A and B are shown apart, each in its own frame.
Chain A
Amino acid sequence: MNLALDILTIVAVSLGAIFFLAGTVGLLRFPDTLTRLHALTKADNLGLGLVVLGLLPQVSAPLAALGLLAVWLLALLSGATVGQLLAGTASAPDQDRAETPARHAGASHD
């Protein structure tokens, strides 16, 4: 039983790490803001979810498991919101960009 749980932990955490790696590669390689956000949020949502899933069998107290789940849910919530906000800012009409020229001039070059 313990061995099975340990194997579940190893598999799930490794899968989660692969998602983080893939998300990072996507963040670095994808061409524009929206696709990069897509890669980033996948890493956060699925990668962190799998890591939490993998750690659940290893906790000693049920409250600690609840804490882990709460961390994942909060990361989901904030990740989704920040993704929306960034996407909204990135696709906003040009007059909004004029307010912070330095920031957006740098972003539009790459």
Chain B
Amino acid sequence: MTSALVVDAALALLVLGLALWVISTRAAYSAVVGFVAYGLLMAIVWVRLAAVDVAMTEAALGTGLTGLLLLGAAARLAPYEAAEVSSRPGRGLRMLIGLLCAAIALGLAAVVLMLPDPAPTLALLVAENLPPTGVGNPVTGVLLAHRAIDTLLESVVLIPALIGVWSVAADPAWGGRPGSLPRPQSGSALTLLAQVLPPFGILIGIHLVWNGADDPGGKFQGATVLAAMWILVLIAGLREPPAVRDQRLRVLLVIGALVFIGIGVAGIWLADAFLAYPEGYAKPLILAIEAVLTLSIALTLGLLLAGPPANDHRSGGRS
């Protein structure tokens, strides 16, 4: 037991130290690398807290995908970075920001330390009401049955995010193919990886979604793995990203949210409430929603990384 305590303490110190380093480091690129390492350590922390679902989400989305987006932003902002660093805000403003951040941290710490014992929890309520949903993983049960409205909003919010990315395209480039991915080096090891890995990655992604019903996993984690495989193929240059004017693409992007909303609205008549499932049909409906949502989320995540449409994608040879 004590050895576990030593490991946990070391882990907590590492996370705190790395967080401080990420905040205090000047170069954006170094900060992003530190942030990725921080996210992976956080995933281990979540595993130590027996929250494997959260750990997977943290590793796949919070670290992998967000890390890639931040790396891209850091690379794009690199030419302006020196000017930004030299024009730092005044001492007073910095101290105010520091004080406010410290107040938030202290407030959160106080709330955690002053929790009543036993801590208020809905876990028992969830465990009692899990059987009617037909799924065995309480996290999936909460996300898709008890708190379906949160999940719906989470899935829908990805679409405005993608619209935001697309909307920074230059006018003449609108409707074309996304152009933020790096240019492929022909004949590199990347090509081999992009040919060998996707079959396994797709299998793992589907496995994560399917397993999400009874074990840790789910559509967001599975969709991230699927999106990663797609991005790998795109970066290796084996396939071109689709043009954003493509109607089929747009239908696939929104079909997950549409099916979710459709089933939810049907619930008003069939189960007396928005987003309620008719008795006995909860499990198949949840599976159907998970399947289409996975497809839409994977596409959206991949296109978020692929960036806004660009003019001379891969023809002019500029990245």
User: Which residues of A pack against B, CB within 8 Å?
Assistant: 70, 74, 77-78, 80-81, 84-85, 88, 99-103, 106
Contact = CB atoms under 8 A, between A and B. Distances in A.
A contacts with B: majority SS: helix
Given A99-B319, A102-B78, A80 B27 contact: no
10 contacts: A74-B197, A74-B200, A77-B193, A81-B190, A84-B188, A85-B188, A88-B188, A100-B78, A102-B78, A102-B82
A66 B192 CA distance: 23
A56 B189 CA distance: 30
A102 to B, nearest CB: 4
A102 B190 contact: no
Nearest to A78: B193
A88 B27 contact: no
Interface in B98-155: none
Contacts of A88: 185, 188
B312 interface: no
A102 B189 contact: no
Interface of B: 27, 29-30, 75, 78-79, 81-82, 185, 188-190, 192-193, 196-197, 200, 319
Contacts of B30: 106
Contacts, number: 37
Contact of A101 (B78, B190, B192, B200): B78
Please give me the 5 A-B residue pairs with the lowest Cβ-Cβ distance, nearest first: A84-B189, A81-B193, A102-B78, A81-B189, A103-B29
A85 B190 contact: yes
A63 B29 CA distance: 40
B105 to A, nearest CB: 30
B188 A77 contact: no
A27 to B, nearest CB: 14
Nearest to B77: A102
Contacts of B190: 81, 85
Nearest to A80: B189
